Structure 1
Amino acid sequence: MSRRLLRFGPLLLLVLFLSGCSSVMSELPPAGERHGFWVTYCVGPLSDLLDWFAEILFDQYGLAILLLTLIVRFLILPLTLKQYRSSKQMQLLQPELKKMKEKYKDDVKKQQEETMKLFQQHGVNPLAGCFPLIVQMPILIALYQAIMRNETIKEHAFLWLKLGEPDHLYILPVVAALTTYLQQKVMATQMNPQMKALMFIFPIMIFFMSLNFASALPLYWVYTNTFTVVQSYLLYRRPSKK
């Protein structure tokens, strides 16, 4: 069960991501209307931070989105590192797990017992990599909604972009798709063959969605993708000192 969860976890995140995007198509109330726990204590404060950052950054909401994205990503960095360490531990145990699977291929119960003993011996929790991911999701969704439900953003421009309208020059959709591809390319060593197919499907989806969404959202995708590319390169491509 845990292996299946780890295998299809990224696909589950994709479904959650698209579910979040579908909410843009519905008419959500602005973040200024504080109704309910989610908006009052999660989305609303992040939206207020966007306004405050824009004030100190010369009324540039494009820079405010960048600053808030960086702050949130650095705040959840400890969770990301924990997920990374869990992933590396599981990688180190793969040869032993493969041998055990071959040795007890006719006895599934014994195979499971020996697998759990191996995990306990090395202090590895196969679900440890999922917990940080689950914790991160509400934070990132709150940031996403804070951007999309901030009415003031829609009235501002950044570079050639009108943040409340799609980029009719198609530059931003191309950049969003490219950074999405680069993000998955850097993390390709952590993917199974099924998930590697998303390296081509996901950027194409991002491109077509960016054609229709207000530029503030693809701009956020570009920022967070770029951060993830740098973070993943440092974590997964840098040789371990051990």
Structure 2
Amino acid sequence: MQLVAKKKPSRKLMLTATMIAALTLFLAACSNKPITEHSTGLWDGGIILNFSRALIWLSNIWGGAPKYGLGIIAFTIIIRVIILPLMIYQSKSMRKTQELQPQLKALQAKYPGKDNESRQAMQREQQKLYAEAGVNPVAGCLPLLVQMPVLIALYQAIWRTQELKTGTFLGIQLGSNHSYFILPILAALFTFISSWLAMAGAPEQNGMTKSMTYVMPIIIFITAVSVPSALSLYWVVSNAFQAVQTWFIQNPFKIRAEREEKKAAERARRRKIEKAKRNAGKR
């Protein structure tokens, strides 16, 4: 996540943007063959069909006419609860990485990366620092990697199931991308809130971490505009869930308070040592 050269995009941002672009291209090329009870194969008959059944079942439990938007919301929350342990692991790893920022910044100053030898030395020192702190620098990308197959299967289930494709939520047809920008804006907004909360607790922020807070919502917005509204709704609920989760697990105000307490305790300890030295000198 940290950079070898400060002007290069972060690995997480590059991977996220690449995966979202790949997802958009993949979805554009997906099969349009309808999913029915007679669909066969591991993907169509196993995964997509069961996603379709789950979405329809969740939409029917609300009583009255099927509420497909509520079904997608319930489905999203279930997925988020399932991957919650992974998200907690990501949050803890991110916090450890944030606490390493001053040391990583010192390494950047020591190894500016102007030649191969400097870059290799920087990488070795970074890996050593991560290992000593028990940090996995790619942990931040794991939730996205896990959710990619879910997003693809969700798209396929809605796009290839006529009942879901023609379903609506608050007057928005779930199978189309004509949501009047409401869902894409909400998806981008909750992405920003979640990213801001995650970054606000960092002891130091460089230009790249700040830019990620603003670039990621833009990427989500552009992507959400071009995919079916059902996926935009998934992103809205998922990122809202992420924002709430971040508030409780990685609350930046609590983290800052804890950091200040540690600094105050360290200052008090040093003053105590200095006082003891002065008293010893007088004797």
Question: Shorter-chain TM-score: which interval?
Answer: 0.7 to 0.9
- 8 Å Cα contact 1:87-1:129 kept in structure 2: yes
CA distance in structure 2 between the aligned counterparts of 1:130 and 1:64, rounded to whole angstroms: 27
**1:11 paired to 2:17:** yes
Residue 187 of structure 2 corresponds to 179
Q: Deviations over 1:88-126 (max 9, x none)?
A: 111111211221232344752433333222222222222
Deviates more, 1:34-43 or 1:48-57: 34-43
Q: Provide the alpha-carbon RMSD of the alignment.
A: 3.2
Picking from 72, 77, 87, the partner of 1:65 is 72
Matches within 5 A, 1:121-132: 121-132=132-143
5+ unaligned residues in a row in structure 1: which ranges? none
Q: Normalised by the size of structure 1, how large is the TM-score?
A: 0.77
Matches within 5 A, 1:92-241: 92-105=99-112, 108=118, 109-164=120-175, 167=178, 170=180, 173-188=181-196, 190=199, 192-198=209-215, 201-202=218-219, 205-206=222-223, 208-209=225-226, 213=228, 215-238=229-252, 239-240=254-255
5+ unaligned residues in a row in structure 2: which ranges? 4-9, 200-207, 260-283
The 3-state SS of whatever aligns with 2:138 is coil
Q: Shift of residue 17 of structure 1?
A: 3.6
| Residues 122 and 51 of structure 1, relative CA distance in 2, 3 Å threshold | same
Q: Deviations over 1:28-49 (max 9, x none)?
A: 2223253432223322211111
Residue 47 of structure 1 corresponds to 52
Deviates more, 1:87-96 or 1:216-225: 216-225
Give the partner amino acid of 2:33: P
CA distance in structure 1 between the aligned counterparts of 2:78 and 2:220, rounded to whole angstroms: 25
Q: Deviations over 1:104-162 (max 9, x none)?
A: 44752433333222222222222333334323321232233223322212344444344
- 8 Å Cα contact 1:147-1:217 kept in structure 2: no
| Residues 151 and 137 of structure 1, relative CA distance in 2, 3 Å threshold | same
CA distance in structure 2 between the aligned counterparts of 1:200 and 1:101, rounded to whole angstroms: 28
- 8 Å Cα contact 1:182-1:229 kept in structure 2: yes
CA distance in structure 1 between the aligned counterparts of 2:182 and 2:170, rounded to whole angstroms: 16
CA distance in structure 2 between the aligned counterparts of 1:124 and 1:96, rounded to whole angstroms: 14
What is the count of residue pairs matched by the alignment? 234
- 8 Å Cα contact 1:47-1:147 kept in structure 2: yes
Residue 6 of structure 2 corresponds to none
| Residues 133 and 186 of structure 1, relative CA distance in 2, 3 Å threshold | closer
CA distance in structure 1 between the aligned counterparts of 2:26 and 2:71, rounded to whole angstroms: 22
Moved beyond 6 Å, runs of 4+:
none
State percent identity of aligned pairs.
Answer: 33
The 3-state SS of whatever aligns with 2:139 is coil
Q: Shift of residue 77 of structure 1?
A: 1.4
